[in-house]
Amino acid sequence: MNKLIAFGLLIVLASCSLLKSDGLKKNHEYVSESGLKYTIYEQNPKALKVDSGDVIYVHYVGSLEDSTIFDSSYDRNQPLKFQVGVGKVIKGWDEGLTYLHKGDSALFVIPANIAYGERAVGKIPANSTLRFVVKVVDIKKPIKPWNVEGKKRIYLDDSLSYVIVEKGEGEAAKTGDRVQMQYSGYFTDWKKFDSSYDNGEKPFEVILGRHRVIIGWDKGIVGMKVGEKRRLYIPYPLAYGEKGRMPIPPKSDLIFDVELVNLESINYPKFDLEGKDTVLMDNGVKYIVGKKTDGKKVKPHDVVSIAYVGKFLDGGVFDASYDRKDSLTFEVAAGKVIKGLDYGMLEMRVGEQVRFIIPYKLAYGESGREPVIPAKSDLIFDVDLLSKKDVKVTL
């Protein structure tokens, strides 16, 4: 009897080992502890294997038990992309895909408890067992912290420091440039909290110095060249500060591995203001007409479209429609923009280019708008009036 028990145990252990190994047989149905049934049709055991945390690309056809198809990636001519094991898909997928390799195809028969359960989703009734024929098109492994052993750590102001992991080429990034970055963010214990690499995303785009990212990025990326990889060590005052921001706890020092993918210098139109008179309005706004036209003059409540560059008095740019490759459209004298710009628009004609110098009381006031506009900031707006739509007067 003991021999029989031992022999039976060996069979169970061997079966468990087979389920976890790459020795799964083709066209053979297996059943996991969760109740997932899976049958492998195509098998590439020497190819890259799917693991939890991978970003994968999967083609699939989903059907109910009666063979009614409820979804197919082939209809969209695009595989589904997602990260495995983080709850982006139903549990049956997260489990079943870890048995497959790049290029493998399989059938998953997924019971309701690891599918959508008691919920009805679209064409899927509640408590449905689902069938998926899946094919793993590609696998992207999660990136790991870069090796910086033996490389010099360079310190900047405010305790910000960096290490050049790989050198780039060309011009160095400067404040005001549009940059495209790939990155991974880590806590000081090397736990990863975000990564554009792992998410399979396009490079992250930002204009340096516009306060659209943490200060450590705005400062730490300056000087990078295209292709350069750099590790940034960012103290919490230059990251998310005293309060933090989910998933970043308060007072968290951060580490970023960043790669500069592309760099673009932004050139703003230059207004011809030399020798032009500066006009002071009764409300305190000053303006200089750089380009004069005979176009229609703006009236209250007209809807205008403008291209603009917003600057501080020292010439530093804080915002520009050109940054977004777009124009700004708003109703004049309706409180849609700062008061100084509302007042100034009433002096413009279509096609004109005008510089407005706006006192802080008609801009963002005593408090400003941190972190972009400091308190009591007088501002400059170079405005190009592209078009206007006349207000309709009803009697």
Q: What is the DSSP letter of 154?
A: E
Whole-number Å distance between alpha carbons of 323 and 336 = 20
Q: What is the DSSP letter of 65?
A: T
Q: Count CB neighbours of 265 within 10 A.
A: 10
Q: Are 235 and 213 in contact (CB under 8 A)?
A: no
Handedness of CA 289, 290, 295, 300 (dihedral sign): negative
Closest CA to 24 of 11, 15, 33: 15
Which amino acid, 27? N
By the 10 Å C-beta count (0-12 exposed, 13-18 middle, 19+ buried), 16 is classed as: exposed
Residue carrying the six token digits 């004298």: 333
Residues with a catalytic annotation lie at 183, 193-194, 214, 240, 256
Exposure letters 73-109 (e unless 16+ CB within 10 A, then b): beeeeebbbbbbeeeebbebbbbbbebbbbbbbbbbb
Q: Are 118 and 27 in contact (CB under 8 A)?
A: no
Question: Measured in Å, how far apart are the chain's first and last C-alpha atoms?
Answer: 103
Residue carrying the six token digits 């659209």: 212
Q: Are 195 and 142 in contact (CB under 8 A)?
A: yes
The strand ranges marked E within 17-124 are 29-31, 37-42, 55-64, 69-72, 80-83, 105-110
Residue carrying the six token digits 């020092």: 253
Closest CA to 187 of 249, 143, 243: 249
